[in-house]
Copies of this chain bind each other. A is one copy, B any other.
Amino acid sequence: MNFSSKLLENAVAEFAKLPGVGPKTALRLVLNLLKNEDSEVENFTSSILNLKHHIKYCNKCSNLSDDEICGICLNSKRDHETICIVEDTRDVMAIENTNQYFGVYHVLGGLISPMEGVGPSDLKIDQLVERIKENPPKEVILALSANMEGDTTIFYLYKRLKDFNLSISTIARGIAFGGEIEYADEITLGRSILTRVPYENSLIK
């Protein structure tokens, strides 16, 4: 692109580093920011710098938090004997939105991926094992994505956790609510037949 200004070009190049933002979208976003008042642009940049400089990871569950211990881990009304293991903070938000889970979390910060050079030591797995040793929970729920990295991580976690006296479960996989059987992929459909549940158990209590 032929930029009329080096300042504009730099800002567009920085925006275009964001995932899913190409040069044209970056230019649109930058020109939109430029239309705002100085104070609004400063609010935008300072909110990012504040986040980057002051965000903490909860000492117990490694979720993003403003304090040393996050709100969920501090909440005495939650069930601290059930730990749901998730990839990142977005999964915590998604599960919290369901209003169906009242235990606590452990955020791994990623999934094991040999292709991208992410091994078990890059994730918060040792902290999880320490946490379980100190305060053994009754149940651990593995709520990881249903792809190769997720399955690899589940298998590794199962090996690390199986000798503790706790039940290990994974979230159910199958046809989504509203999903039509004829459009489901064969693997999901096949597995949902093999892991069928008694009708009484499928009803929401």
CA distance A93 to B23 in the complex (A): 12
Flag whether A49 is at the interface (Cβ < 8 A): yes
A81-136 contacts to B (CB < 8 Å) = 88-90, 92-93, 96-97
Complex Cα spacing A27 to B31, Å: 21
A53 to B37, alpha carbons, bound, how many Å?
Answer: 11
Q: Is A76 an interface residue (CB 8 A)?
A: no
Chain B residue contacts of A71, Cβ below 8 A: 4
| Contact size range, A | 35 or more
Q: In this assembly, does A30 line the interface, its C-beta being within 8 Å of a C-beta of chain B?
A: yes
Q: Is the interface of A mostly helix, strand, loop or mixed?
A: helix
A2 near B93: Cβ-Cβ < 8 Å: yes
| Residues in A9-49 with C-beta less than 8 Å from chain B | 10-11, 13-15, 17-21, 25, 27-34, 38, 41-49
- A54 and B18 form a contact (CB under 8 A): no
In the complex, A72 has a CB within 8 A of chain B: yes
Chain B residues near A49: list those with CB within 8 A.
41-42, 45
Contact (Cβ within 8 A) B2 A66: no
For A88, give the chain B residue with the smallest CB separation: B31
Which residue on B lies nearest to A70, using beta carbons? B4
Decide yes or no whether A176 CB sits under 8 A from chain B: no
A interface residues with partner B (beta carbon < 8 Å): 1-8, 10-11, 13-15, 17-21, 25, 27-34, 38, 41-55, 58, 63-66, 70-72, 88-90, 92-93, 96-97
